[in-house]
Structure 1
């Protein structure tokens, strides 16, 4: 039985083209990438992680490869799992996927089953890899960030909230533990007292600015070394 899953059909053609272009670029880059290194994989929260600019400062003995793709879901990752994970044969994987499943209102049982399939495949094909399943970053739905119409804003946040993300975190943690992997929270310092992502750390309420990633990276260092 195939582990492929249906991809969302409501994405803008420009986003689909971007996804196809970046997957094609990753496939080419994978041919010359070193095996056994560190992999960041997931959706836009990983894609825009400026790790290429920062990893030289970390003094690691491994290269970090970023294989994030915006607007992707657990189904997308399953459908392109060779390009995004296995072609690199990483020794350490940091995965942050599923926030778009929540945002696209993918049924929870499908979303969690997909996540379980991803981790099962990693366990079977990369048994010696260390895998870190990341807690979802908090978001900010209360402040205004400009640059978008009310309709687009309302549509984006129609099924996105910190409450929904927290509920999903609990279940994703269970999926990670069931597969023998560590669930990590590297979000300390991102949220204010009200639980929302701090306004100065995001450009749209859902995606981090470099200052936000600086906090995340600081929290991740103990897992990277």
Structure 2
């Protein structure tokens, strides 16, 4: 169930969408997108393209679908970068069917995008690595993150890549510089083992900036 902070954020996006320019670049998803300072990095690199960020922390794919108009469709973007679903990996409602539910929702998101928008260029972004073995992890956080193993992240990315191919959209894996020798998130980028500091996002930006043009 969504919390008041998320609903207020979406309401605010709804208002600002009313004056936003159509046909621009959109980054959308959950907290891993909301925390991506893509607009600031782009501006500091001299990039003039208009970029909107519609990330909302804590969203799962069910909630994203519920609010897909505000978070994606209303902007009528020409290029869409999507990073959604990491919160589904912690879901307990679906038991060992969590991956199937996640990917079914991803298919539905892409179906809606291609049905409602005219020839968008869509980029599905690989799930970032996580790190369950940082020294500041607690028993509670490890329990919450227990499904975010390199193996499960790999399963998600393999499935997402196949779905992206089936829709003819672009799957982007920006993880090479984020991942250590164990397949986990490098500690120097880690806030909590899932979310990243801006130094990690600088690496992501360098991997995807060529797709702005």
The alignment covers a number of residue pairs equal to 209
2:152 matches 1:164: yes
* Separation (CA, whole Å) in 1 of partners of 2:129 and 2:142: 18
* Separation (CA, whole Å) in 1 of partners of 2:190 and 2:22: 33
Could you list the per-position Cα deviations for residues 156-196 of structure 1 after superposition, in whole angstroms to 9, with x for gaps in the alignment? 21322221111011111111111110111111211112211
Query: Could you tell me the TM-score, scaled by structure 1's length?
Result: 0.88
User: Do 2:132 and 2:146's aligned partners in 1 also have CA atoms closer than 8 Å?
Assistant: no
* Separation (CA, whole Å) in 2 of partners of 1:49 and 1:55: 11
Output the aligned Cα RMSD.
1.5
The equivalent residue for 2:164 is: 176
The equivalent residue for 1:109 is: 100
Structure 1 stretches lacking a partner, 5+ long: 1-8
2:176 matches 1:188: yes
Shift of 1:98: 1.1
Could you list the per-position Cα deviations for residues 49-69 of structure 1 after superposition, in whole angstroms to 9, with x for gaps in the alignment? 012322212433421100111
The 5 A counterparts of 1:1-225 are: 9=1, 16-105=3-92, 106=94, 107-145=98-136, 149-151=138-140, 153-225=141-213
Structure 2 stretches lacking a partner, 5+ long: none
Could you list the per-position Cα deviations for residues 41-94 of structure 1 after superposition, in whole angstroms to 9, with x for gaps in the alignment? 111110100123222124334211001111111111110000000110000000
* Separation (CA, whole Å) in 1 of partners of 2:151 and 2:131: 11
